[in-house]
Amino acid sequence: MSRLTAGVVLVTAHEAALDPDGPRGEDVGMTATSFMSVSLDPPLVMVGLREGSRMDDLLAEQPLWAVSLLSEHQRIIAGRFAMKGRVSDRLLFEDIRYDRGEVTGAPLIGGALATLECRTEQRVTAGDHTLVIGRVLNATAPGVDGGPLAYFRGRYRQLG
């Protein structure tokens, strides 16, 4: 599968989206390539999350999340949010420009090619991953320069 070219996305969620009085309200982000469009009507997308990852645990509890399609200028962001055993999610977002999604409260990364806000419709356990299918509630495609960030044979790539 390392020979399949994949686009790189950042999946994000805000812990307090359903519980504004919750104790922590951390933003959580995870780099992913297992992201795809599923249906146009209704608009559905899917992401595969490793079972037991922080994002999988969070989305088992709350249905709101977002996806930012990363541009070729954002490999540092991709690398940062793929780190395991990180200190604190808050530090990861510290110097990153983002807006907060109106519907989900999740970070939408500035400079991304597009952003999607989603609500989980279905969760399917498949081996050691959870396939999370979400309905797209809101989408933006800002006028951003540059092409996509791709991943091929274990390395980040740009087109061309």
Ligand X SMILES: Cc1cc2nc3c(=O)[nH]c(=O)nc-3n(C[C@H](O)[C@H](O)[C@H](O)COP(=O)(O)O)c2cc1C
30 binds ligand X (CB under 6 A): yes
Find out whether 20 and 62 touch, Cβ atoms under 8 Å.
no
Find out whether 3 and 152 touch, Cβ atoms under 8 Å.
yes
82 binds ligand X (CB under 6 A): yes
Q: Which is nearer to ligand X, 81 or 93 (CB)?
A: 81
Q: Which is nearer to ligand X, 41 or 125 (CB)?
A: 125
CB of 104 to ligand X, least distance (A): 19
Q: x/- site string to ligand X, residues 40 to 79, per CB under 6 A? A: --------xxx--xx-------------------------
Q: Which is nearer to ligand X, 64 or 77 (CB)?
A: 77
120 binds ligand X (CB under 6 A): no
CB of 138 to ligand X, least distance (A): 22
31 binds ligand X (CB under 6 A): yes
Write a three-state SS string for the chain. Answer: CCCCCEECEEEEEECCCCCCCCCCCCEEEEEECCEEEEECCCCEEEEEEECCCHHHHHHHHCCEEEEEECEHHHHHHHHHCCCCCCCCHHHHHCCCCEEECCCCCCEEECCCCEEEEEEEEEEEEECCEEEEEEEEEEEECCCCCCCECEEECCEEECCC
Among 7, 16, 26, 34, binds ligand X (CB under 6 A): 34
CB of 116 to ligand X, least distance (A): 15
Q: Which is nearer to ligand X, 102 or 122 (CB)?
A: 122
Per the rule left: phi > 0, alpha: psi between -120 and 50, beta: everything else, 61 is alpha
Give me the residues that bind ligand X (CB under 6 A), please.
Answer: 8, 30-34, 48-50, 53-54, 81-82, 84, 151
